C-alpha cells in the first residue's frame, strides 16, 4: 500500500541498550563520523559508551555508563540521529521516496525530532542535551528521597479525574501520560509508598522505578531555570516540518515556541497519549520509529491501533521498512511485551548515582 501521511517518532531515555547503533557504525563511514563529531563536542568517546558491555565482579555487577543519565541522553540522541541518516541515505540509493509530514519525540527524543526538522543543528543539539543531562542529574541529587512510580491498569483507562485524585490525596505529580492505561507519577518516596499500597489493593500495577530523580515534575524547576539560560544563548531556526510538542501537544515550528517547550518539558509532564492522538487525528497512516528499541511503536499501538507501525534501529528493521515503503511487502504490527520509555529501567528500586 501507499502511505500518504508518515510521522516519524524518536525515542527517549529508557530505550538505550548496549550495542545500539553498532551495525550502522561498522558499515557506514559517515555514521562513524557522526559519533566522532559528537565525541569531540562531549569530551568523551560516545561510541565507547554505547558499545561497551557492563563489567562483572565477584560481588556486584557495575552498571554500565550507558544507563547513567549524563551519558544516556547524548547516546540516545546520537544513535537516533545516525539511524535517520542511514535511513535517508538508503532511501536515496534505492530511490524510495521518504515523505513525512509530522515528527514527535518522547521527552529527550524531541531534540532528535527538532534536529531532523532542521530547527537545530547537530552540534547545538548535542551540546544542549549534554547540558540538559548535567542539570537534571545535578538537581536530582537535591532530592534523594524522591523518585518515580509507574502505574498500569490494563482493564480501565486512567483518566484525568483519577490522576487529579492521586495528586490531591497523596501529594504526587503526574510526570508521564504514556497511554490511556499507563502513567508515571513522581514525588517523595514516602508518598509513593503509600500510594503504591492503595493501588495494589485496587488491582492496579504500581512499580517504583529505578531512576536518578523526579524527572518531569515541578521539583525539577531549578534545573529548568538553569537550562533556560543555555537556551537563550543558542540560535534556532524555523522548523521545516511541524514537531508535535510533548507539553502542549501542539505543532511547533517557531524558535521561541521551541525554546519555551524545551524549558517547560523538564518540569512538566509529557503527554505522549495526546501527542499520538493529535498525529493520528491529522490523518497519519504510518508511524516510523527511528532509534533504539520499539518502545514508542508499542505505545502507539495501544493509543492508535489503526495506524501502521514500522521502525529503524538496525539492518533488519531498516530493510523491512524499506521493503514496506517500496510496496514489496506489507509491514507487520509491532508486537511484544510492554515497555516503559524515558528513565525507566527493569527494577523495583529507586536508583541513585554511584
Residue 100 in this model has a pLDDT that exceeds 70: yes
Model confidence band, residue 255 (pLDDT cutoffs 50, 70, 90) = very high
d(CA 319, CA 341): 25
pLDDT at site 344:
43
**Residue range 230-253, pLDDT digits in tens:** 999 999 999 999 999 999 999 999
Which residues are marked as active site? 107, 216
Give the Cα-Cα-Cα angle 256, 259, 263 (nearest 5 degrees): 140
Which domains are seen in the chain, by residue range?
A: 6-140+219-325 (3.40.366.10), 146-211 (3.30.70.250)
Residue 266 in this model has a pLDDT that exceeds 60: yes
- Per cent of the chain over pLDDT 90 is 85
* Mean pLDDT value of segment 288-317: 98
Residue 54 in this model has a pLDDT that exceeds 80: no
Residue 69 in this model has a pLDDT that exceeds 70: yes
Residue 173 in this model has a pLDDT that exceeds 80: yes
**Residue range 200-224, pLDDT digits in tens:** 999 999 999 988 899 999 999 999 9
Alpha-carbon Rg of the chain, whole angstroms?
Answer: 19
pLDDT at site 210:
84
pLDDT at site 56:
60
**Average pLDDT, rounded, for the chain:** 91
pLDDT at site 63:
52
Place of cell 504510518: 286
Model confidence band, residue 55 (pLDDT cutoffs 50, 70, 90) = low
* Mean pLDDT value of segment 33-62: 83
Residue 87 in this model has a pLDDT that exceeds 90: yes
Model confidence band, residue 75 (pLDDT cutoffs 50, 70, 90) = very high
Amino acid at each position: 500500500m501507499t502511505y500518504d501521511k508518515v510521522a516519524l517518532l524518536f525515542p527517549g531515555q529508557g530505550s538505550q541498550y548496549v550495542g545500539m547503533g553498532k551495525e550502522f557504525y561498522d558499515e557506514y563511514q559517515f555514521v562513524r563520523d557522526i559519533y566522532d563529531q559528537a565525541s569531540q563536542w562531549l569530551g568523551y568517546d560516545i561510541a565507547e559508551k554505547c558499545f561497551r558491555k557492563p563489567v562483572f565482579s565477584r560481588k556486584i555487577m557495575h552498571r554500565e555508563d550507558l544507563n547513567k543519565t549524563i551519558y544516556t541522553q547524548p547516546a540516545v540522541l546520537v544513535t537516533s540521529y545516525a539511524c535517520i541518516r542511514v535511513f535517508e541515505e538508503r532511501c536515496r540509493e534505492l530511490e524510495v521516496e521518504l515523505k513525512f509530514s509530522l515528527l514527535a519525540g518522547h521527552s529527550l527524543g524531541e531534540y532528535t525530532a527538532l534536529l531532523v526538522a532542521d530547527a537545530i543543528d547537530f552540534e547545538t543539539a548535542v551540546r544542549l542535551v549534554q547540558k540538559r543531562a548535567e542539570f537534571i542529574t545535578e538537581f536530582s541529587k537535591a532530592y534523594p528521597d524522591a523518585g518515580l512510580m509507574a502505574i498500569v491498569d490494563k482493564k480501565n483507562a486512567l483518566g484525568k479525574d483519577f490522576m487529579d485524585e492521586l495528586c490531591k490525596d497523596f501529594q504526587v505529580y503526574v510526570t508521564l501520560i504514556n497511554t490511556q492505561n499507563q502513567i508515571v507519577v513522581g514525588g517523595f518516596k514516602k508518598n509513593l509508598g503509600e500510594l503504591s499500597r492503595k493501588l495494589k489493593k485496587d488491582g492496579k500495577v504500581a512499580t517504583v522505578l529505578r531512576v536518578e530523580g523526579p524527572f518531569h515534575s515541578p521539583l525539577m524547576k531549578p534545573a529548568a531555570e538553569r537550562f533556560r539560560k543555555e537556551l537563550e544563548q543558542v540560535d534556532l531556526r524555523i522548523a521545516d516540518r511541524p514537531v508535535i510538542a510533548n507539553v502542549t501537544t501542539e505543532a511547533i515550528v517557531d524558535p521561541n515556541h521551541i525554546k519555551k517547550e524545551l524549558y517547560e518539558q523538564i518540569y512538566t509532564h509529557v503527554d505522549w497519549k495526546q501527542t499520538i492522538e493529535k498525529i493520528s487525528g491529522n490523518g497519519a497512516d504510518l508511524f516510523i520509529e527511528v532509534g533504539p528499541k520499539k518502545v514508542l511503536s508499542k505505545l502507539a499501538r495501544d493509543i492508535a491501533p489503526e495506524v501502521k507501525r514500522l521502525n529503524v534501529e538496525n539492518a533488519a528493521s531498516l530493510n523491512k521498512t524499506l521493503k514496506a515503503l517500496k510496496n514489496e511487502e506489507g509491514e507487520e504490527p509491532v508486537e511484544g511485551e510492554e515497555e516503559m520509555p524515558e528513565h525507566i529501567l527493569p527494577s523495583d528500586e529507586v536508583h541513585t548515582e554511584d
